[in-house]
Amino acid sequence: MKLLSHVVNLIFPTKCQNCDSTVSADAATAYFCKECWQGIEWFDYPCCPQCGLPYASPDTFAANKPYSKQSPAGHLCGNCRDRPPSFDMAISAGRYTGALSEAIKLFKYKKKIHLGKMLTEQALKSTLVKDTLLNFDNPEDIHTVWGCPVYRANKAISAQTLIIPIPLHVKRLREREFNQSAIIASVIGRRFGIPVVANALIRHRHTRPQVELDGKERKENVVGAFSVEDRKIIEGKEIILVDDVYTSGSTVNECSRVLKKNGAEKVYVMTIGRMAG
C-alpha cells in the first residue's frame, strides 16, 4: 500500500496548499508538505489567563521560540483589563497563519470535513488546550469506550458542562451544507464524553463574515444576532463555546453574553486558530 502511494505520488504529484511544493507520500496529509504541516505554530505559555492572547517572551527570541512556558499568573492583557469580556476564559490552539489557516479554509469552504476532524484532534494535543482540558499525567484520566481511548476532562469540567458550537444562520448553513463549529464540537464531545447541544444557541440574524470587517464593524455586526431557544437547557450549566477561529473575539463575546443572560453559570471558549498579533 505504501509502495502504491509512492507510485501514485510520482505520476500525479500533489502540491502543498501553503507553499506549492510537492507533497511527499509520507506526509501527514495530502494537502500539505511535511515542512509546512510541522511548521504550524501551536501556542504555548505565557498568555492572557482570560482571553488566551499569547504573550511574546523576550527570553526565547534568541532560541527562535516565541513563547515561554512560564506564565505570569493573573496577568491580564490590556483589552481584558479595559473591557472585560463576557466569557470566563478563552483558549486557542494555534496561530491562524500558514498551513493552519489554509487547512481551516479547506475544511470550512471546500468541505474537507476529515481535515477539520484531524485539525481538532491535533488542537486537543496543543499545549494551551491540553493543559486547559486534560491532565495526561494521571493514567486514570484515560479510559476506553468501544475499544477507543477517551480522555476524562480535568477538574475544571464537571457533570454540568455542555458543549455549544457557534451557530450559523440558516441561509449560510444552506450554502455551506454543514457547520464547521459543530464538527469541531462533535470531536471534542466524543473525546471527553461531554454532551453537545447544537440547537441551544440560535443565530436568528444573517450577518456578514467577520473576516471582511474591521474591529468596530465586527462588534456591531453581531450585536443582537443570537438568541437562546430554551433557557432551561443552559441554566446553571458551564458552557464550552466552540468555534474554528478567534478573530477579534466579538462573536464569542456576544454569544457568551447571551448565554449568561439566559442563565449559564460560566462560559469557556475554545477555538482551533486565533488571529493574534
pLDDT for 206-255, tens place per residue?
Answer: 877 766 666 677 778 788 889 998 999 999 999 999 999 999 899 999 99
- Of 58 and 104, the structure prediction assigns the larger pLDDT to 104
List beta partners, residue 143: 150
Same domain for 28 and 46: no
Tell me: do 22 and 129 sit in the same domain. no
> For all residues of the chain together, what is the average pLDDT?
81
The pLDDT-based confidence of 155 (bands split at 50, 70, 90) is very low
Round to the nearest angstrom and report the end-to-end CA distance of the chain.
43
* Single pTM value for the model: 0.82
Residue 57: count of CB within 10 angstroms of its CB = 18
Specify whether the CB–CB gap between 214 and 243 falls below 8 A: no
pLDDT > 90? residue 132: no
Which pLDDT does position 268 carry in this prediction? 93
4 and 138 in a common domain: no
> Residue range 117-134: average pLDDT?
87
**Residues 73 and 28 grouped into a single domain:** no
| pLDDT higher than threshold 60 for residue 265 | yes
Predicted pLDDT at 45: 81
User: Domains in the chain: how many in total?
Assistant: 2
Q: At what angle do helices 250-261 and 215-222 cross, to 10 degrees?
A: 30
At residue 134 the predicted structure's pLDDT band, cuts being 50, 70 and 90, is low
Pair 132, 48 in one domain: yes
| Alpha-carbon dihedral sign for residues 168, 173, 176, 182 | positive
Within this chain, do residues 14 and 115 fall inside the same structural domain, yes or no? no
Check whether residue 53 and residue 93 sit in a common domain: yes
Q: Which domain holds residue 28?
A: 1-39
pLDDT tens for 57-99 read 544 433 444 433 444 445 788 889 999 999 999 999 999 999 9
Do 70 and 179 lie in one domain? The reply is yes
Residues 136 and 192 in one domain: yes
Residue 260 binned pLDDT confidence (cut-offs 50, 70, 90): very high
Query: Are residues 34 and 46 part of one domain?
Result: no
Using left for φ > 0, alpha for ψ between -120 and 50, and beta otherwise, residue 223 falls in beta
* Domain match, 74 and 1 both: no
251-257 long-range contacts (CB < 8 A, ≥24 apart) are 251/166, 251/210, 251/218, 251/222, 252/87, 252/90, 252/166, 253/85, 253/86, 253/87, 254/86, 254/222, 254/223, 254/225, 254/226, 255/166, 255/201, 255/226, 256/85, 256/86, 256/87, 257/86
Q: For the chain, count helices (H), then strands (E).
A: 11, 8
Residue 173: burial class (beta carbons within 10 Å; 0-12, 13-18, 19+): middle
Q: Same domain for 125 and 55?
A: yes
